[in-house]
Chains A and B, each alone.
Chain A
Amino acid sequence: MFRKKLTNSVKSAPLEVEESLARFWPVPTGLREDKNLAQSSQATGGLASIPALLQRNAAQFANKDAYREKEFGIWQTWTWAETEKEIEALALGLINLGVEEGDFVAIIGRNRPYFYWSMVAAQSVGAVPVPVYNDSAADEMEYILGHCGAKYAIVEDQEQVDKVIEIQEHLHQFKHMIYIDPRGLRKYDHHQLHEFSHIQAQGRAAHDEWITDLEARRSKLTYDSTCVMLYTSGTTGKPKGVVLSNRNVIESAKNSVEFDNLGAGEEILAYLPMAWVGDFIFSVGQSYWTGFCVNCPESADTMMTDLREIGPTYYFAPPRVFETQLTSVMIRMEDAGKMKYRMFHHFMNHAKKVGGDILDGKPVGLLDRLKYKLGDMLVYGPLKDTLGFGRVRVGYTAGEAIGPEIFEFYRSLGINLKQLYGQTEATVFITAQPDGEVRADTVGVPSPDVEIKIDDKGEIHYRSPGVFVEYFNNPESTASTKDAEGWVATGDAGFFEEGSGHLRIIDRAKDVGKMADGSMFAPKYVENKLKFYPDILEAVLFGNGRDRCVAFINIDLTAVGNWAERNNIPYASYQELAGHPKVLESIQSHVETVNQSVADDPMLAGCQIHRFLVLHKELDADDGEMTRTRKVRRVVVAEKFKDLVDALYGGASSVSTTTEVTYEDGRKGSISATLDLRDAKVVPMASKVAAE
């Protein structure tokens, strides 16, 4: 209701956007109709900031649940009215502590209501929240806190407190730290250390003293003031601080909410890292815009149980989570009784045939429909319920390509899982798949208000109200990413599919290279094909500037470990399992199948894998081989395992190597291994040419 009232009063939509949209591809009619609703360049009704939205929600949805967190075995709940009081108390406490406008406040912890409140409280006092990955090692944290010059940090527990204390002496500007869980911290020096609840209590006590100050600061917030600063995970080089304004966040939230028709009744589970832009948009932007409830799990280990208890209606996960869940379902089905096992596979085969079409509203025969209904009663419904997807109305996967098999599995169950393509710099949304136009190999059409163009090198550029303000203290990078007209280079190569107007991503633009013979080298394309096998966790392809390609492979310990258990193959470690001849054989057969499918595409046939090895350790963010969002750092891997790459291009059939590893507590050790180098069958290029 309120949304209608708001959007009707907006009348200043820039019209040239629609024209430029039409220049690049046909605009779907559904979007055209929304234009005058979705495009507002001015904030209205004073709703120009998250704290302003909070006040509106507290008035409008006073008794509606805003936050839930499972603690002590029970879902503890805060309504919007209570939330406003909690945040106000904290904001007053922060002023009392000396937080000033423009200060940066680092937020370090897992998803908990207290941290979401902290971000909004920081905004309320004119400070800028900077969420940091809570599993960052101390030196990564030091870089970020040093780079933005954070004076305050709000952290979760002893572990994080210890980390910050460790780096504190290098942070000259650092003033105070606030922690939530007091356990084990009683004996610490509390000169610069404060308990969250004490700060709130001090804020409540000092209400009369600071409330005018708080109100004045809050009213100074505009559509252009900074809403949040998020550090990119950085596949190359140091992380960059992306500054997002209230305009970026609120416009993006508003557009995406309308795109998927989200309302105040949605339930989401907040479990993805708070430092990631997606969580900020879903759990803060969209939640504050619509007033829906954010649920926080009890701990990382209970996520699956909590997911099931909440039954979210709007769900977001990277492909990895869907993969893990599918693997665990399949493993558990192996242990099920004969009757259940056969019923499961019978109905899953049927779902595979018609489930996706039924979801997309395509014509399906009556008998098939009836059988699907029966399957829903017996298999799909209970399974969705177990997975916690029983109520999902809109589900998204993004960040990486998802395996078509996995994608189809969930869609065939009747879960409306879609793909979107986004970036921190775009405040998430660049493209998304509208209902009924969902496919595994595209990322959808441009999101509302987003313009896209593809340059002659194939790189995707976009312009939208969500385009970030700047990289903090880094004008060179800002200039090289965003041009004067506001176009942002994504660094991804892709193209629009003819006919459907959907965007397809090929690879990171900088990763796309040339082989020695001049044909295209697109590593991600091949790696993704490999990663779609449940027993392959990661793959890294090499071949830029070479005459042929070779690959590193990481096996998936859960899937392969389970297989080993079933086949009575004893193993003590990842390393041992990775070197097992039977494992290598099965990986080899996957590689060869992938080679065949790669050879089907004449443009990329040169990317077939000639030789490969299974790595003796899992690629890990602690060793710098991956980003915290688990994307492979190609250059680091190539450098670190140079001896292995050389060996693959050499002729030997095995190679000995020693690798340094970092444990979670920061200590270092090393592992050494002798690895088998395997040759894989490739489809000869010559025959391709002959066939043509």
Chain B
Amino acid sequence: MTQVPADSYVTEDGRTIGPTVMEMKNITLRFGGVKAITDISFDIREGEIRAIIGPNGAGKSSMLNVISGFYVPQEGEVWYKGAKRPAMKPYQVAQQGIARTFQNIALFEGMSVLDNVMTGRLRQMNANLIQQALWKGRAEKEEVENRAFVEKIIDFLEIQHIRKTPVGRLPYGLKKRVELARALAAEPSILLLDEPMAGMNVEEKEDMSRFILDMNDEFGTTIALIEHDMGVVMDLSDRVVVMDYGKKIGDGTPDEVRNNQDVIDAYLGVAHD
């Protein structure tokens, strides 16, 4: 067995969780007078599956949007790989290696699955416009390399049979998988999943859970996900952040969170003052 560094630990199922890769410090996000997020801090460690849960309107998606750079918080700091992150455009965040999927699927409906997944590789393509247009030199070489990579992901997510199918013709569950493929194609160091299992049946949920675990296992991808299905969250994640009304009410392993009185109240419903 290799030596585990001091800032890492090994989980029960044998995965190594590394040091903190992203840290949110006292984030507050306001839309006019509405406070979506109030003073929230938590961290994401390398190689872990980190879930953010909470009732509707708790601010989960806003939190994810802060991480991916869609929203810039009024207060607080985002630390990524040991450095404070300045205010950034979403594409700059993506260039830093943070990829995401969306709650309500944002794919190019008219394009094939393959082309959609290829767009996830844009960050790895450097050929200029003329090279691309003539498909010469660097453009050709890059396309071949990237296609090979994309094919590995298509194989991994078992979507070979729809490779050439336009996305618009696919059922919901498969679209979700294609979106995951596109995010994965970017070789992210952190992958943000916004409700990857919403609207799926039990079988599709089981498939998706398996893909998430395999992704984490195979590529060592750090995953932060929002999910409503408590069973899934508790099974998948290493640590869970619980939000309610924009505030953090719990943070810890699934077992700790499950026994946290505030969390139980938020989910079972207790009169708020």
Task: Give the B-binding residues of A (Cβ under 8 A).
Answer: 71-74, 183-184, 186-187, 298-299, 301-302, 305
Contact = CB atoms under 8 A, between A and B. Distances in A.
Given A73-B160, A183-B218, 9 more contacts: A71-B155, A73-B147, A73-B154, A184-B213, A184-B214, A184-B218, A187-B14, A298-B161, A302-B160
B161 A186 contact: no
A72 B218 contact: no
Nearest to A72: B151
A670 B95 CA distance: 52
B155 A187 contact: no
B204 interface: no
A299 B160 contact: yes
B145 interface: no
Given A73-B163, A299-B161, A301-B161, A183 B156 contact: yes
B217 interface: yes
A100 B103 CA distance: 56
A299 B163 CA distance: 12
B136 interface: no
Contacts of B14: 187
A394 B85 CA distance: 67
Given A183-B156, A186-B217, A73 B151 contact: yes
Contacts of A72: 148, 151-152, 154-155
Contacts of B161: 298-299, 301-302, 305
Contacts of B158: 299
A187 B154 CA distance: 23
B15 interface: yes
Interface in B134-150: 147-148
Interface of B: 13-15, 114, 147-148, 151-152, 154-156, 158, 160-161, 163, 210, 213-214, 217-218
A186 B15 CA distance: 10
11 contacts: A73-B114, A73-B151, A73-B154, A73-B163, A183-B156, A184-B210, A184-B213, A186-B218, A187-B217, A298-B161, A299-B161
B218 A298 contact: no
A299 B161 CA distance: 8
A305 B158 CA distance: 15
B155 to A, nearest CB: 6
Contacts of B15: 187
Contacts of B218: 183-184, 186
A71 B158 CA distance: 12
B224 to A, nearest CB: 21
A184 B148 CA distance: 21
Contact of A187 (B13, B114, B156, B210): B13
B15 to A, nearest CB: 7
B214 A183 contact: yes
Contacts of B217: 184, 186-187
Nearest to A665: B206
A80 B122 CA distance: 40
A301 B148 CA distance: 21
B30 to A, nearest CB: 44
A187 B158 CA distance: 21
A203 B152 CA distance: 27
Contacts of B151: 72-74
Do most interface residues of chain B lie in helix, strand or loop, or is the interface mixed? helix
A661 B210 CA distance: 25
Nearest to B156: A183
Nearest to A302: B161
A434 B156 CA distance: 45
Contacts of A184: 210, 213-214, 217-218
A71 B156 CA distance: 11
Nearest to A188: B14
A186 B218 CA distance: 8
A644 B89 CA distance: 67
A186 B14 CA distance: 10
B52 to A, nearest CB: 25
B146 to A, nearest CB: 12
A298 B160 contact: yes
Contacts of B210: 184
A331 to B, nearest CB: 16
Contacts of B114: 73
A26 to B, nearest CB: 50
Contacts of A305: 161
A323 B151 CA distance: 32
B156 to A, nearest CB: 7
Interface centre among B14, B160, B213 (most CB of A within 10 A): B160
Contacts of B213: 184
A359 B213 CA distance: 55
Nearest to B14: A187
A478 B218 CA distance: 49
Given A73-B151, A184-B217, A187-B15, A301 B156 contact: no
Contacts of A186: 217-218
A298 B210 CA distance: 21
Contacts of A302: 160-161
A299 B156 CA distance: 12
Nearest to A70: B160
Contacts of B163: 73
The 10 A-B pairs of least Cβ separation, nearest first, read A301-B161, A72-B151, A187-B14, A302-B161, A73-B151, A298-B160, A184-B214, A302-B160, A299-B160, A72-B155
A302 B147 CA distance: 19
Contacts of A298: 160-161
B45 to A, nearest CB: 18
Nearest to B13: A187
B198 to A, nearest CB: 21
Nearest to B214: A184
Nearest to B152: A72
Nearest to A71: B155
A388 to B, nearest CB: 15
Nearest to A182: B218
A301 B160 contact: yes
A73 B144 CA distance: 12
Contacts of A299: 158, 160-161
Nearest to A189: B14
A74 B210 CA distance: 26
B157 to A, nearest CB: 11
A298 B218 CA distance: 21
Interface centre among A73, A184, A305 (most CB of B within 10 A): A73
A422 B92 CA distance: 66
A74 B147 CA distance: 11
A163 to B, nearest CB: 15
A305 B163 CA distance: 11
A74 B213 CA distance: 27
A184 B154 CA distance: 16
Contacts of A301: 160-161
Nearest to B151: A72
A264 to B, nearest CB: 30
B54 to A, nearest CB: 30
Nearest to A300: B161
Nearest to A304: B161
Nearest to A664: B203
A186 B217 CA distance: 8
Nearest to B210: A184
B268 to A, nearest CB: 29
A124 to B, nearest CB: 30
A302 B152 CA distance: 16
A181 to B, nearest CB: 10
A253 B161 CA distance: 33
Nearest to B162: A301
A313 to B, nearest CB: 24
